[in-house]
Structure 1
Amino acid sequence: MNMKKLNISDIYWKAIIECDSAYDDKFYYGVKTTGIFCRPSCKSRKPNKENVRIFKNAYIALEEKFRPCKRCKPDGLHLPAEEWIEQIVQWIDQHYCESLTLQTLADISHGSPYHLQRLFKRVKGISPSEYVQQIRLEKAIDLLETSGLSISEIGSAVGFSSTPYFITLFKKKLGYTPSSYRIACRQNLKKELVNRDEHETKDY
């Protein structure tokens, strides 16, 4: 039987997708999209092959600014809770418009949902889902003030799959519906422009 000869990258990839502990401490793999590196035996969700980088040891991965996985703890390294949560916050800030669940965040950060929920609330004072809502509302406010997009388009653009939910949450948190907020902003802007014009006329 003819067997296709595996090159070194195929061997690494085979070890990763099979969670082969025999390769632990022989190499580590980093995931470019998350900035995390793991042992080959890590049980975390498997990355896309094109996003993987191979390291001979954990310290090379650290020098390349990759962070140790919270689940498999490569080389026994531990990331402080505050730093781990801050990395997750940065990831949310970049991916807020995507569908984000606690499980999704746990997967990309290589931790358990329970552990993530508990530490996130301890460090940030709010839950991961509350933080996601906060970021989405901040982005929505910016679009309401600066764009001509419709309310439904804005809700979708910032990650809300339901327009009624977006409107309800916006009003609950800010005391205005998105439409009322936009009208109020435009009225305030108009007042500022009128006042500025009057001031410039007087100066003239």
Structure 2
Amino acid sequence: MFSCTIIPVVKVSLSCYYVLKSIYFGSRGGILNVRRRGDSVSSHQQFGQITDEQWEAITHNDARFDEIFIYAVKSTGIFCRPSCKSRDPKKENVHIFNNATEAIADGFRPCKRCKPGGLRLPDEEWAFLIGEYIDEHFREPLTLEILADMCHGSPYHLQRTFKRIIGLTPVEYIQKVRITKAMYELTVTDKSVSEIGQSVGLSNLSYFITLFKMKTGQTPKQYRKTSNGGAD
């Protein structure tokens, strides 16, 4: 007989976020995810291999197909009804399933907006999935609105939920990831400050320098000099 331990919901600091994610959700972002997303054992279709009719149903939010199939998006790890009002995914990232059971078995999680199969993604796991998405896409333009749309929720709910669970707002977390990556680049590469800013998603040099100093207390050049033992 299996025993069950109740894990209380607590606010976690950024420093323990990755530890908690690896313990509770695994390296791919899901408690039940024992296979990589997309390694389907129940569907013959691969990512991007969908019919014109299925793609049209998704892009036109056609509710007539809600009882026929659901679709999952590789980049977010979330599955939806065809009628979901979320942003249209890239076709090559879409995978078709017959039902929610198949999608869950393949490591995907239900959309909070359209609740496919009557399922609801827990707030804690939703926040961790968003954190994982930021970790992988921090170089791209990211705003609260873009994240909410990509992760199928409202900006207001995302702001409150992410802050409650992770301890930072989504924008603060994006900044933390970008500045941490910039610190690493300044230490181990000879790239210019401008090149590093662009590589971490902060193409505006003035803003990059201002944000870096705000978060670290030093300009990028000062940080590089300090981390290299005072050498220029």
TM-score (norm 1): 0.86
Query: How well do the aligned residues superpose, as a CA RMSD in angstroms?
Result: 1.5
**Contact conserved, 1:25 with 1:75, CA < 8 A, in 2?**
no
Which position in structure 1 is the counterpart of 2:93? Answer: 51
Q: Percent identity?
A: 56
Which position in structure 2 is the counterpart of 1:117? Answer: 159
Kindly state the Cα deviation for residue 90 of structure 1 after the two structures are TM-superposed: 0.5
Residue ranges of structure 1 left out of the alignment (5+ in a row): 1-7, 190-204
Which position in structure 1 is the counterpart of 2:74? Answer: 32
Q: Does 1:72 align with 2:114?
A: yes
Tell me which of the two structures has the higher relative contact order, counting C-alpha pairs closer than 8 angstroms and 6 or more residues apart: 2
Tell me which amino acid in the other structure corresponds to 1:169: L
Q: Does 1:87 align with 2:99?
A: no
Which position in structure 2 is the counterpart of 1:143? Answer: 185
Equivalences, count: 183
Which position in structure 2 is the counterpart of 1:153? Answer: 195
Kindly state the Cα deviation for residue 188 of structure 1 after the two structures are TM-superposed: 5.9
Which position in structure 2 is the counterpart of 1:169? Answer: 211
Q: Does 1:108 align with 2:141?
A: no
**Contact conserved, 2:58 with 2:83, CA < 8 A, in 1?**
yes
Moved over 6 A (4+): none
Query: Could you say which structure has the larger radius of gyration?
Result: 1
Kindly state the Cα deviation for residue 18 of structure 1 after the two structures are TM-superposed: 1.5
Residue ranges of structure 2 left out of the alignment (5+ in a row): 1-49
Per residue, is there more helix in 1 or in 2? 1
Q: Give the 5 Å matches for 1:11-22.
A: 11-22=53-64
Kindly state the Cα deviation for residue 94 of structure 1 after the two structures are TM-superposed: 0.7
Tell me which amino acid in the other structure corresponds to 1:117: Q
1:34-73 deviations in Å (ceiling 9; x for gaps): 2111001101111122221111110000001111111100
TM-score (norm 2): 0.76
Aligned-partner Cα distance in 1 for 2:151–2:102: 20
Kindly state the Cα deviation for residue 25 of structure 1 after the two structures are TM-superposed: 2.0
Kindly state the Cα deviation for residue 14 of structure 1 after the two structures are TM-superposed: 1.8
